[in-house]
Structure 1
Amino acid sequence: MMIRARRIAAMLSTAAVLGAGALAPAGAETVTLTILGVGDTYNFAEEDGRGGFARLNAVAKAEREANPNTLYVFDGDMLSPSLLSGFDKGQNTIDLTNLVPFDIAVPGNHEFDFGPENFIEKMKASKYPWAAINITNADGSPIEGLGGVMVKEVGGLKVALIPVAQDTSPEVSSTGDLKFLPTVETAVAAARQARDEGADLVVGVVQTDMSNDRELIRSHAFDVIMSGDDHSYATAYDGVTAYVETSIDGQFLSPIDLIVEIGEDGDGKRTIDWVPNFRFIDTAMVEPDPESQKLVDEFQSKLDESLGVEIGATETMLDSRRNVIRAEESAMGNLIADALRDATGADVAITNGGGIRGDTTYDPGTVLTRRDILTELPFGNVTVVTELPGSQILAALENGVSEVENGAGRFPHVSGMSYAFDPSAPAGSRVSEVMVGAAPLDPDAVYSVATNDYMLGGGDGYSAFGGGKVIVNAGNGNLMANDVIDYIANAGGVTVDVEGRIKNLGAN
């Protein structure tokens, strides 16, 4: 039986208020402040009856109706990657969140997958404010339209929202010449300043990994931290700072009710004391918001029409599972690299496993559709070509396997060449047996290399791709996914298999 989020929120908020009131000392004013955070919301539709924007919007509406003292915050990553974002560069997420606007939104690294110009365009189309205190233009000047610390008066409380983005964004996304200041250092300094300036409560809205989250918690500069990036759900409270890691695609949500007592000390100075009440909402139990669902259905209809086109069957098993595509040769990686080389006529092709996102397998005989390829390649990357000496190609391969033990997305899939690597060797000295065609890689010879615009720009640590003569730039290249689709269609299907292009010398 479906349960309305409104009913859940109302019952739990009421219980929290009654409980707090029973404990409040005489003369103290008790205020319940609800904070609902969400991040990493890529897919507009539900998955297996859970998540999606229609359910998320239903919860946000219910929380605001149950308690007018509610803050709804977004902690990064929505414009990409998804099937539809490959067509509209994330506009669908803006349209859906505009129906139930955030109080504040922090850009995640995926907000820049289509470049900073697209983010600025989408920011302007938003009916809510975007903010990040650690992103500036290259010269250090503010980015027009991107705010900083936000102080809101809520229920008689002065609440400082500290919006902080991920400082590794330039390494993993297409941020152009934007400058990112250190996440933790910048966040803690701003939180302490806000406290010094009289904030009753300091709330971090951050898009960063759990290692940084732990540093932020240990600083005790924040009352609450709402964090995205890790795609997991977690709550914690160490007696000073309450913390929520906000799940993925709005599947699991945890509003926090802060039961705040506003009082005075013996000298008549204002005092603030609070305790957190964490709530858990499984959105499989939430009835979708009708207005949002109507828009979701419209998006789905458009997507189905364009993506259902069949392009060819595979004769071999294609494997794009995360643990495979980021660690070893796979037929899917070979297929994509072959398509880039075929489309460009380059000597070799190199593409990163982290850009391949389907996380699935396709059995022999499976008829592939445009949807399958765009699911695998959702970032909207463009095929580019550069000329590089063999020494830089070797450096690129070394970078690609430098963090294979951590499952890093930089793992390189290749075409027109082969290589071996030893994961037990020191990073930077792992690659050997590099062949281009039937000949050993010549460090002094110049080769044409097909790759994607993200890697050419130094993404995933591929600085070795810089400095070469660019033959096809991002402005002139084809959408990478379209090159793969055309390659399969022209070949009448997929025959590529695991062929020994990549050899792991440390494998048993």
Structure 2
Amino acid sequence: MFLPVRRSTVSLLGACALGALMAAPALAETVKLTILGVGDVYEFGGEEGRGGFARLNAVARAERAANPNTLYLFDGDMLSPSLLSGFDKGQNTIDLTNLVPFDLAVPGNHEFDFGPQNFLEKMAASKYPWAAINITNADGSPIAGLGGVMVKDMGGVKVALIPVAQDTTPEVASSGDLKFLPTVEGGIAAAKAAREAGADLVVGVFQTNNDNDRALIASKAFDVILSGDDHSYGTYYDGITAYVETSLDARFLSPVDLTVEIGEKDGERTVKWVPNFRFIDTAAVTPDPESQVLSDALAKQLDDSLNVVVGTTEGPLDSRRNVVRAEESAMGNLIADAIRDATGADVAITNGGGIRADRTYDAGTVLTRRDILSELPFGNVTVVTELPGSQVLAALENGFSQVEKGAGRFVQVSGIEVVYDPTAEPGSRVAQVKINGADLEPDKLYKVATNDYMLGGGDGFSALGGGKVLTNTGEGGLMANDVMRYIEKTGKVTAKVEGRIQVVGK
């Protein structure tokens, strides 16, 4: 059942929940539970024989067959970004997960990349429940169809599932006027309320970063925490909380088996448990046949339209996550140069987090439409706004404000040479800026090419707003198309790292 949670973190579980928890069947001696968590699954077919929905579905089917007391939980991010989601806004992920439905799914920030209405449509098309205790409408009212705390009876063990979304979603996605309440505080409060209402086990299903994960573990409010968002894999147990960071694209999975002993002492119900973490490298998993048929059909659709050559690289390109979010990259320069060329703007600024293929290209690589759309899967539109130099500077400051965190707001630029100090306080890191060879003038107006997401304040780029918009989202073209046309002009890519972004003292 769902127990909807409103804005208040005090009254998180009502009388209905209390009754459900306390009306437990006769006590069992030992119950084995399996909890399988997954998140951040973007590429429907996986990569190089590992991950993807067909292998994930095979593992989920096998776990449920081996143990009927299995919870299959999703901790955020699948509708976007991917090559195919640029066309169908994530419908492929719904079709594939509907074949082996989750017991519960938490929306990640990427569920809102195409706006809140698309998420609501995809949620309605899902054959499984979505839930998050900390997302409301603008007026604080609950979102129709989005659940809250869920209580499951697993072999006589009352398990409370606490689903929590990332509260920074409005900064990094297009979530409209939806409200996202605090992730950590709200999750802990809900977990304590569930425990007080009689839950035997409390399982947190979070889409949040590692820093928040550590705070959640330190709270000692949870028995198990499943967390996505960081694209890494890991397990941890401190004797109180079992924790799984759920990897990327279902490449590596870690079902957690809990051996739960239920007893009685001094007239009180007692529950003890021990975790066993299993490791599954999905490269060794035979894909689920039904899912593979659908996956193959989706791949064929892409192949027919995307294997078209656009040009060849003269030098290497690098779009790895740790590069485009931390330093000047040739791929970033290519994209920024392309949107500047397409618009005739003075400068171009784009966010490294919007560059997504996470790979390198050797010199001489033949690039196809598939490659460019893999790098720019969000369907962002190129826009141009006219801003004073002071706001251009503020936008650059925002771009460097979280470089130590690997944040997606790190900028890739064209027409700009900037020197910054990562050790300085955020907001005061830019030491020098030149615009097309001349010092930036605070009062001078510059035409700035960027993308519609950033123009709307995404990734904290509020400084890009308020200017005279010369090309809006209705008039602009897709960034990916601008890049493809730019390459096709000469049939080659000459972009390279050339000192556009420098660090003080280096």
Same fold, TM exceeding 0.5? yes
Which residue of structure 2 aligns with residue 326 of structure 1?
325
**1:497 aligns to 2:496 (yes or no):** yes
Asked if the contact 2:28–2:156 (Cα under 8 Å) also holds between the matched residues in 1, the reply is no
Which residue of structure 2 aligns with residue 137 of structure 1?
137
Per-residue deviation, 1:317: 2.7
Amino acid at match of 2:276: N
Which residue of structure 2 aligns with residue 125 of structure 1?
125
| Secondary structure of 1:93's aligned partner | helix
Per-residue deviation, 1:409: 2.2
Where do 1:350-369 residues align within 5 Å? Answer: 350-369=349-368
Asked if the contact 1:328–1:504 (Cα under 8 Å) also holds between the matched residues in 2, the reply is no
1-side partners of 2:28 and 2:404: how far apart? 55
Aligned residue pairs: how many? 480
Per-residue deviation, 1:28: 5.4
Where do 1:295-444 residues align within 5 Å? Answer: 295-444=294-443
Per-residue deviation, 1:413: 1.8
Amino acid at match of 1:235: T
Which residue of structure 1 aligns with residue 34 of structure 2?
34
Report the more deviating stretch, 376-385 or 426-435.
Answer: 426-435
| Secondary structure of 1:47's aligned partner | coil
2-side partners of 1:289 and 1:214: how far apart? 35
Which residue of structure 2 aligns with residue 64 of structure 1?
64
The superposition leaves residues 419-467 of structure 1 with CA deviations (integer Å, 9 ceiling, x where unpaired) of 2223344332332442323433221122221101221122222121122
| Secondary structure of 2:127's aligned partner | coil
**1:102 aligns to 2:102 (yes or no):** yes
1-side partners of 2:443 and 2:47: how far apart? 51
| Secondary structure of 1:98's aligned partner | helix
Which residue of structure 1 aligns with residue 21 of structure 2?
none
Where do 1:176-215 residues align within 5 Å? Answer: 176-215=176-215
Report the more deviating stretch, 403-412 or 457-466.
Answer: 403-412
Report the more deviating stretch, 199-208 or 406-415.
Answer: 406-415
Asked if the contact 1:84–1:92 (Cα under 8 Å) also holds between the matched residues in 2, the reply is yes
Which residue of structure 1 aligns with residue 444 of structure 2?
445
Judged with a 3 Å threshold, the aligned counterparts in structure 2 of structure 1 residues 499 and 280 are, in CA distance, closer, same or farther, namely closer
1-side partners of 2:54 and 2:170: how far apart? 32
Per-residue deviation, 1:86: 1.5
2-side partners of 1:137 and 1:202: how far apart? 26
Judged with a 3 Å threshold, the aligned counterparts in structure 2 of structure 1 residues 234 and 330 are, in CA distance, closer, same or farther, namely closer
Judged with a 3 Å threshold, the aligned counterparts in structure 2 of structure 1 residues 316 and 235 are, in CA distance, closer, same or farther, namely closer
Per-residue deviation, 1:325: 2.2
2-side partners of 1:79 and 1:421: how far apart? 35
Judged with a 3 Å threshold, the aligned counterparts in structure 2 of structure 1 residues 234 and 501 are, in CA distance, closer, same or farther, namely closer
Where do 1:82-101 residues align within 5 Å? Answer: 82-101=82-101
2-side partners of 1:271 and 1:408: how far apart? 44
The superposition leaves residues 463-500 of structure 1 with CA deviations (integer Å, 9 ceiling, x where unpaired) of 21122222333344322111111221233322333343
Q: What are the ranges of 5 or more consecutive residues in structure 1 without an aligned counterpart?
A: 1-26
Asked if the contact 1:424–1:506 (Cα under 8 Å) also holds between the matched residues in 2, the reply is no
Asked if the contact 1:38–1:74 (Cα under 8 Å) also holds between the matched residues in 2, the reply is yes
Amino acid at match of 1:365: G
Identity of aligned residues (%): 76
Asked if the contact 2:398–2:409 (Cα under 8 Å) also holds between the matched residues in 1, the reply is yes
Judged with a 3 Å threshold, the aligned counterparts in structure 2 of structure 1 residues 257 and 113 are, in CA distance, closer, same or farther, namely same
1-side partners of 2:236 and 2:432: how far apart? 49
1-side partners of 2:298 and 2:345: how far apart? 37
The superposition leaves residues 70-97 of structure 1 with CA deviations (integer Å, 9 ceiling, x where unpaired) of 1110001111121111211111111110
The superposition leaves residues 283-302 of structure 1 with CA deviations (integer Å, 9 ceiling, x where unpaired) of 12221110001111111111
Judged with a 3 Å threshold, the aligned counterparts in structure 2 of structure 1 residues 500 and 221 are, in CA distance, closer, same or farther, namely closer
Which residue of structure 1 aligns with residue 467 of structure 2?
468
| Secondary structure of 2:492's aligned partner | coil
Which residue of structure 2 aligns with residue 52 of structure 1?
52
Alignment RMSD, CA only? 1.8
1-side partners of 2:55 and 2:266: how far apart? 47
The superposition leaves residues 371-418 of structure 1 with CA deviations (integer Å, 9 ceiling, x where unpaired) of 111121122222122221110001111111223344332222222332
2-side partners of 1:66 and 1:403: how far apart? 45
Asked if the contact 2:242–2:275 (Cα under 8 Å) also holds between the matched residues in 1, the reply is yes
1-side partners of 2:414 and 2:174: how far apart? 24
2-side partners of 1:37 and 1:109: how far apart? 17
2-side partners of 1:181 and 1:496: how far apart? 42
Asked if the contact 2:39–2:249 (Cα under 8 Å) also holds between the matched residues in 1, the reply is yes
2-side partners of 1:251 and 1:329: how far apart? 29
| Secondary structure of 1:413's aligned partner | strand
Judged with a 3 Å threshold, the aligned counterparts in structure 2 of structure 1 residues 189 and 360 are, in CA distance, closer, same or farther, namely same
2-side partners of 1:54 and 1:84: how far apart? 16
The superposition leaves residues 18-39 of structure 1 with CA deviations (integer Å, 9 ceiling, x where unpaired) of xxxxxxxxx9522112111111
Q: What are the ranges of 5 or more consecutive residues in structure 2 without an aligned counterpart?
A: 1-26
Which residue of structure 2 aligns with residue 231 of structure 1?
231
| Secondary structure of 2:493's aligned partner | coil
The superposition leaves residues 282-333 of structure 1 with CA deviations (integer Å, 9 ceiling, x where unpaired) of 2122211100011111111111222110011222332323333233333221
1-side partners of 2:254 and 2:58: how far apart? 14
Judged with a 3 Å threshold, the aligned counterparts in structure 2 of structure 1 residues 31 and 433 are, in CA distance, closer, same or farther, namely closer
Amino acid at match of 1:356: I
Which residue of structure 2 aligns with residue 243 of structure 1?
243
Where do 1:243-262 residues align within 5 Å? Answer: 243-262=243-262
Amino acid at match of 2:86: G
1-side partners of 2:207 and 2:188: how far apart? 14
Per-residue deviation, 1:251: 1.4
Asked if the contact 1:166–1:183 (Cα under 8 Å) also holds between the matched residues in 2, the reply is yes
Judged with a 3 Å threshold, the aligned counterparts in structure 2 of structure 1 residues 390 and 89 are, in CA distance, closer, same or farther, namely same
| Secondary structure of 1:37's aligned partner | strand
1-side partners of 2:243 and 2:502: how far apart? 43
Amino acid at match of 2:63: E
Judged with a 3 Å threshold, the aligned counterparts in structure 2 of structure 1 residues 191 and 405 are, in CA distance, closer, same or farther, namely closer
Asked if the contact 1:423–1:506 (Cα under 8 Å) also holds between the matched residues in 2, the reply is no
1-side partners of 2:243 and 2:423: how far apart? 37
